[in-house]
Structure 1
Amino acid sequence: MVFQSPILRQSYKSPYGPKYHLQPNVAGWTFKQLGSLGFKAGAFGGVALFAVIFYASGIPRVKRDILQKVPFIGGHFIKETPASDNPF
């Protein structure tokens, strides 16, 4: 069996053949896939954070320490009912 030398093998490349190129990756994930995965994970994390804050908005400590300090909607969580009218 006759083997070609590396010099002759790389001297001609057919224009009709496949165009191979190195695709950089991290543990088998390409950077395009990692970007898409990161965007989706961020979106799900944002929705999960909103759900947790929505469900915990009835807790007085959460209202006082977190929700009242949010710039445009913080005034909605300030309770101005006098203590004598509050059953809780």
Structure 2
Amino acid sequence: MVFQTPIRRQSYKSPYGPKYHYQPNVAGWTFKQLGGLGFKAGAFGGVAFFAVIYYASGIPRVQRDILQKIPFIGSYFIREIPASDNPF
């Protein structure tokens, strides 16, 4: 059996030398980096969701299906038309 690099046995390791540890990763990204990236992506996603809801708040279907179901502020989006203004 031929090896590309020679197999080494455990040799002396100085207590004053660098301490190398295996660092688990996913496609080169460490779990610490993935956590920070996930937090930032979640923050940007939350802001984007709020902006879409804010811009779409004038659409009656969005008001009925989404905004009226939010506790405490849902009653702000209920628009009752008086019977005198109803054309039918």
TM-score, normalization by structure 2 = 0.81
Mapping of 1:5-44 within 5 angstroms?
Answer: 6-7=8-9, 10-44=10-44
**Percent identical:** 84
One-letter amino acid of the counterpart of residue 12, structure 1: Y
SS at 1:6's partner residue? coil
Q: How many residues align?
A: 81
Instruction: Give a deviation string over 1:32-86, Cα, whole Å, max 9, x none.
Output: 0000000000000000000000000000110011100111210110113426459
| Consecutive aligned runs of 4 or more in structure 1 exceeding 3 Å deviation | 83-86
Change (3 A) 1:52 1:42: same
- Structure 1 residue runs without a partner (length 5+): none
Which one has the bigger helix percentage? Answer: 1
SS at 1:15's partner residue? coil
TM-score, normalization by structure 1 = 0.81
Mapping of 1:54-73 within 5 angstroms?
Answer: 54-73=54-73
Q: CA RMSD in A?
A: 2.0
Q: Distance in 2 between matches of 1:13 and 1:84?
A: 91
